[in-house]
Amino acid sequence: MSAPETVNLALWAKSMSPALNGVGAWAAEIGEELGRARDRGCDMLVLPEWAAAQWLSFAPASLAGTDEIAWLADQHAHALDAVTPSVERTGVALCAGTMPVQLKKRGKPEYRNRAVLLTPDGSRFEQDKLSLTPTERDAEGWWLEPGDSVQIVPWRGLRLAQIVCLDIEQPALAQLLAPHDLDLIIVPTMTARPSGYNRVLNCARSRAVELMLPVAMAGTVGTRRAPSGTEPNFGGAAVVLPCEPSLGYDGRHAELAPVAEIGGTGAVLIARDVPVGACRRLRAAGAEVWNGPWTAGHVRIDEAR
């Protein structure tokens, strides 16, 4: 398949506030949004990090905080199976956000925060979060383990990666990705405050410049409710580009202004004509100053005395 010149993305700043009555209700919401994305000519619908945390609104009231991850992990296979028919019916790919999954290692359960991309041909591509927040890695919190690899996904003739929230803030990861000629990075994110949202957004801008490609992000909004308590979210959605003259100079393609609360199920940013082809050509030749992947392997650090 020849690579397209542009792609259209639907980036869902999904509200965590509405209570659900089961995984079926969650899948029905996603099915409706996939249908709207198809009708608007979109190629992919992107959900935020921890979109699955909304399932805690129907979790058993007796569930303790440290048991929430195990309970969520028990739901994930059913949830993915429930949304797959909508992906196939609409022809729109779905980044289903992230959800915890259980792995068996060293004789004990291990949980990871995993993004899953479903495509209309029935394929599933998985990406574990690599760099965990204090809450995710703290034994008093959610008992998660980091992933250890990045999967490069073939999609419609393009090469993309799902990079989860805090991972986009790591320049060392960008340096590893640089030689692999990516066309697009998708960033599901969950942030509680404006500081977190702006860290992710500004680091996404840096990665777009460093890797000469579009970066698309979608975040959570609203108050998540769970047996262990509530948690605020502050987020939005955006597509950022390299700061090149031919792309409009400023690296801005589309943005949904971040907020703490949105009514209903949230808001969807329709990012049309994301210029993957133009970025591909700029990576090959013609960028203003970018001269390809660069490492600092030849540079030494001298301490002045």
For 80-92, what is each residue's pLDDT tens digit? Answer: 999 999 999 999 9
Least confident residue range of 46-60, 106-120, 258-272: 106-120
Per-residue pLDDT tens over the stretch 4-38 = 999 999 999 999 999 999 999 999 999 999 999 99
Which parts of the chain fold into alpha helices (H)?
23-39, 68-90, 134-137, 171-177, 194-211, 276-284
What value does the mean pLDDT take over residues 36-53?
A: 97
Residue 31: CB atoms within 10 Å: 17
Domain ranges of the chain: 7-284
Q: Give the amino acid at 24.
A: G
| 194 token code pair | 């404006």
Q: For residue 2, what are the contacts with CB-CB under 8 A and spacing of at least 6?
A: 157
What pLDDT digit, counting tens, does each position of 209-224 carry? 999 999 999 999 999 9
Overall average pLDDT of the 243-257 stretch: 98
Cα–Cα distance for residue pair 68/53, rounded to 1 Å: 9
pLDDT at 62 over 90: no
Determine what percent of the chain is predicted with pLDDT higher than 90.
85
Residue 268: predicted pLDDT: 98
- What mean pLDDT value characterizes the chain? 94
- DSSP state letter for 237: E
Say what the pLDDT of residue 137 is. Answer: 80
Residue 83 · residue 47 · CB < 8 Å: no
Domain 7-284 coded CATH 3.40.50.1370 = no
Rg of the chain taking only CA atoms, in angstroms: 19
- Alpha-carbon distance of 11 to 13, in angstroms, equals 7
